[in-house]
């Protein structure tokens, strides 16, 4: 209560725990701790030392923002991180929902810890998949796409299918899942494949023209033969 009233300053330990709670990144944490050190320094030279460090950190943060604003394409290492877990894509997408524009709101909407969401948001901003505008996060100009032969494509499929499995026992009336092992003529199987592709195209059109976005959904469609293909067959 004394700290909130301005009668006392945070201790370094309290400041560090607060940085973790707020989900600050490494540079932001260093900057905040530097401010605490300045307020607690009793020696003029020591205050000057920490103030110079604060200026250096501020410049470093500014340089990082400039780099972020110019970046448009993901390199392979960034793609590997983005497709490492389902919530990278989910965090990016939910910022298109009105009112979901801060780390705290994203964390609550996706039911994820803030300490998980915060570094992901920072990464997405750094590669222009998100933009920070006046303290609010919105989808950025960079697009994500994987070629069918990309070594990361299996990660992408796996991430969202695992998420679907987790959701099966909690399905609402607006959701459904369909699994149907079946036997079929090969010619008819080809027709089903065409039908599924046409359906995906129609879904894409609906999504592109959807207004007043307020929900996050995912589509997982699998049409395959579960039989193991043996070499020489």
| pLDDT tens sequence for the chain (233 residues) | 555 555 566 778 887 877 776 666 677 788 888 888 888 787 888 888 888 888 888 877 665 554 444 445 678 899 999 999 999 999 999 999 999 999 999 999 999 999 999 999 999 998 889 999 888 999 887 777 777 788 999 999 999 999 999 999 899 999 999 899 999 999 999 999 999 989 988 998 898 888 889 999 999 999 988 876 555 55
Does residue 129 contact residue 144 with C-beta atoms inside 8 Å? yes
| Structure confidence at residue 231 (pLDDT) | 55
Does residue 147 contact residue 134 with C-beta atoms inside 8 Å? no
Rounded to an integer, what distance in angstroms lies between the CA atom of residue 63 and that of residue 218? 36
| Structure confidence at residue 72 (pLDDT) | 54
Residues 6+ apart with CB under 8 A from 135: 102
Q: What does residue 42 show for φ and ψ, rounded to 5 degrees?
A: -95, -15
> Which residue in the block uniquely carries the two structure tokens 């970046």?
71
| Structure confidence at residue 81 (pLDDT) | 94
| Structure confidence at residue 164 (pLDDT) | 92
Rounded to an integer, what distance in angstroms lies between the CA atom of residue 30 and that of residue 33? 5
Rounded to an integer, what distance in angstroms lies between the CA atom of residue 81 and that of residue 159? 12
| Structure confidence at residue 73 (pLDDT) | 65
| Structure confidence at residue 75 (pLDDT) | 82
Residues 6+ apart with CB under 8 A from 117: 23, 87, 91, 103, 106, 107, 110
Residues 6+ apart with CB under 8 A from 179: none
196-219 in b/e form (b: 16+ CB < 10 A) is: eeeeeeeeeeeeeeeeeeeeeeee
Distance between first and last Cα of the chain = 75
């Amino acid at each position: 209560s004394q700290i909130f009233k301005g009668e006392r300053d945070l201790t370094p330990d309290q400041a560090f725990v607060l940085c973790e709670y707020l989900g600050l990144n490494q540079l932001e944490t260093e900057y905040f701790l530097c401010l605490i050190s300045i307020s607690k320094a009793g020696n003029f030279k020591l205050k000057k030392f920490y103030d110079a460090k604060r200026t250096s950190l501020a410049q470093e943060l500014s340089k990082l923002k400039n780099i972020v604003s110019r970046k448009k394409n993901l390199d392979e290492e960034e793609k590997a991180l983005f497709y490492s877990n389902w919530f990278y894509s989910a965090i990016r997408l939910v910022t298109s929902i009105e009112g979901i524009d801060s780390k705290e709101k994203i964390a609550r909407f996706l039911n994820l810890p803030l300490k998980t969401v915060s570094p992901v948001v920072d990464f997405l901003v750094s590669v222009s998949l998100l933009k920070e505008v006046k303290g609010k996060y919105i989808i950025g100009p960079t697009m994500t796409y994987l070629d069918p032969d990309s070594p990361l494509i299996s990660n992408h499929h796996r991430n969202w299918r695992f998420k679907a499995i987790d959701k099966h026992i909690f399905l609402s009336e607006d959701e459904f899942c369909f699994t149907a092992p079946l036997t079929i003529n090969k010619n008819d199987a080809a027709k089903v494949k065409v039908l599924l592709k046409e359906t995906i195209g129609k879904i894409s059109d609906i999504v592109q023209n959807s207004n007043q976005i307020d929900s996050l959904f995912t589509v997982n469609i699998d049409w395959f033969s579960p039989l193991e293909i043996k070499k020489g067959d």
